[in-house]
Structure 1
């Protein structure tokens, strides 16, 4: 029986040796697989982190750009409001012109016009008596008035010299120089 026992022992030893080899090979494959999966996980984590950083930078850039646009819009709005107030003050100062300046304004502007003499001069109600006493060759309207400045009316023609219309007419021409004066940048 000793041969049988030796043979059995040899088969068992070979089986153990073979099992140990298989186990070692399985361990190597396991370590390689784990290492490979860890490398892949680290690479994916880096990609995700890079994407997150890029998205965060894009969001930050958008927020900063939006804030700059809002600030610029508020600045432009403030400038427009200042311009509008400037023109309103100009209109107001013309409207509150004293009698002497008003009569000089009328004389200088009417003197430059070629009139037939049949026209009606329309002035503000508070200046009507002063204009009548100034001796203008035109008939002064007793029924129509303007808030400021004057108008000359004929059958088919109206010449509008109201201060509102003069300021509005000159506004485009004056805006750039006013912007330059008020907002030197």
Structure 2
């Protein structure tokens, strides 16, 4: 009986030792699994953070690039508007010159534009009233001195423009209105305006 008890106790002791060992192994394995899971979780977390930071940087770059482009557009639009205003102001200033000064400018322009001396001159309604027929006589005298016919005629109908003139010969019209001259020479004038206004 004593041997049997000893055997049972031995078996129980071995079982306890084995159980303790298994529990220790299980605890260690569980700890390793938890540690590995934490490390993997931290790694994933860092990857997610890096990816999010990269995406945020890319988004920031896109936003900054878009903002810069918009600023350039606004600046260009403002610059263009200012140039338009300056050129329009130049035309307005020409049209607002005193009668004598304005007449001299137009007289010089027409005498240089005349080809044969028997063309038709189209003036704006305003210029017809302030310069009158005497102005045409004055031009005819000047071009006659250059050896041309000196037979320019004032058109019966006023032109629908502000200032300058249109020289007409048959069906051909030579547009020398101020707005047309500005438009045709815009590139050159714009460079000068930009240089003066912006120092470019």
**TM-score, normalising length: structure 1:** 0.89
Q: Which shows bigger deviation, 143-152 or 30-39? A: 143-152
Q: Shift of residue 24 of structure 1?
A: 1.4
| In 1, Cα distance between equivalents of 2:80 and 2:26 | 79
Written as runs of structure 1 = structure 2, the 5 A alignment for 1:69-80 is 69-80=69-80
Q: Give me the CA root mean square deviation.
A: 1.9
Aligned residues: 185
Unpaired runs of at least 5, structure 1:
none
Secondary structure of 2:170 counterpart = coil
Decide whether the 8 Å contact of 1:99 with 1:127 is kept in 2: no
Counterpart pick for 1:156 among 163, 168, 171: 171
| In 1, Cα distance between equivalents of 2:19 and 2:33 | 21
Residue 157 of structure 2: aligned partner: 143
Q: Which shows bigger deviation, 57-66 or 162-171? A: 57-66
Decide whether the 8 Å contact of 2:128 with 2:158 is kept in 1: no
Q: Shift of residue 75 of structure 1?
A: 1.5
| In 2, Cα distance between equivalents of 1:63 and 1:159 | 52
Q: Shift of residue 114 of structure 1?
A: 5.0
Residue 58 of structure 2: aligned partner: 58
Secondary structure of 2:162 counterpart = coil
| In 1, Cα distance between equivalents of 2:153 and 2:61 | 69
Secondary structure of 1:115 counterpart = coil
| In 2, Cα distance between equivalents of 1:96 and 1:67 | 43
Written as runs of structure 1 = structure 2, the 5 A alignment for 1:16-27 is 16-27=16-27
Written as runs of structure 1 = structure 2, the 5 A alignment for 1:83-122 is 83-113=83-113, 115-122=115-122
Secondary structure of 1:142 counterpart = coil
The runs of at least 4 aligned residues of structure 1 exceeding 4 Å deviation read none
| In 2, Cα distance between equivalents of 1:44 and 1:25 | 28
| In 1, Cα distance between equivalents of 2:41 and 2:106 | 89
Counterparts in 2 of 1:67 and 1:162: CA distance versus 1, 3 Å: same
Q: Which shows bigger deviation, 89-98 or 31-40? A: 89-98
Counterparts in 2 of 1:126 and 1:15: CA distance versus 1, 3 Å: closer
| In 2, Cα distance between equivalents of 1:76 and 1:114 | 40
Counterpart pick for 1:177 among 186, 189, 192: 192
Secondary structure of 1:97 counterpart = coil
**TM-score, normalising length: structure 2:** 0.83
